[in-house]
Amino acid sequence: MAKGFLSLAQSRKTAHEFSSKQVSKADLLRILEAGRWAPSFLNLQPWEFVIVKESQAKEALLKSAYYGIYTFGDFKGLPPVVVAIVLKKKYWEGQYGYPRRDKPGVFEAYLSIAMPASNMVLEATDLGIGSAILNVNAYVAERTLKLKDGDTAPLIVCFGYEKPGAKARKRSRKPMESLLHYGHYGGKE
């Protein structure tokens, strides 16, 4: 019985502490290739990737994360490499997609950039490489990455090898039965 992908998905976890071991260029390119093949709304592929290895830039990005690496408590140190997902203005400003609220297309663009992040962390897991997806302060990201013309980068993905002995965290998910509805919201099987 096939269980390869499911066990990969279950074993992926957010790494909170990385060793100094670098991710090889070949592995990083493979991870990025998995990201490149992610699905997106209208196949617009509204992403570009910035590879960040310089400590100051990584630190600025990570510090700005929501419950950032330094404030969340369990995160320690810097990962060897960060991939920032750039969302071009023409996608997030809403010229593509269905009108919702006051900005058409915004949701589709933001939903789409999560897809390469997901593909990349799963590829990394398959390669034995640790990862963490973080939402960063977009203004900090725009400055740090020298983005222009309203392009933004709300999501980054950290990669590296988890430090041996890093504290194991209890991971959990809501029970399946609490998620499922049949036919309509609240419907039973």
Query: The tokens 């991939």 sit on which residue?
Result: 83
Q: Which amino acid is it at 119?
A: N
Residue 84: CB minimum distance to ligand FMN, A = 13
Positions 170 through 189 that interact with ligand FMN (CB under 6 A): 171
Q: Should residue 13 be labelled a site residue for ligand FMN when binding is judged by CB under 6 A?
A: yes
Nearer to ligand FMN, 24 or 169 (CB): 169
Residue 103 is classified by DSSP as: S
Per-residue contact string for residues 117-156; x = within reach of ligand FMN by CB under 6 A: ----------------xxx---------------------
71 vs 52, 68, 77, 136, 155, CA distance in Å? 21, 5, 12, 13, 18
Residue 114: CB minimum distance to ligand FMN, A = 6
Nearer to ligand FMN, 19 or 135 (CB): 135
For residues 130 and 125, give the distance between their C-alpha atoms in angstroms, rounded to a whole number. 6
Determine whether 164 is exposed, middle or buried from the number of CB atoms within 10 Å of its CB (0-12, 13-18, 19+). Answer: exposed
Nearer to ligand FMN, 13 or 36 (CB): 13
Positions 53 through 82 that interact with ligand FMN (CB under 6 A): 65-67, 72
Q: For ligand FMN, how many residues bind (rule: CB under 6 A)?
A: 11
130 forms beta bridges with 160
Q: What are phi and psi of 159, to 5 degrees?
A: -135, 145
Nearer to ligand FMN, 16 or 30 (CB): 16
Q: Which of 32, 114, 138, 166 binds ligand FMN (CB under 6 A)?
A: 114
For residues 106 and 139, give the distance between their C-alpha atoms in angstroms, rounded to a whole number. 17
Query: The tokens 């209208």 sit on which residue?
Result: 42
Which parts of this chain interact with ligand FMN (CB under 6 A)? 13-14, 65-67, 72, 114, 133-135, 171
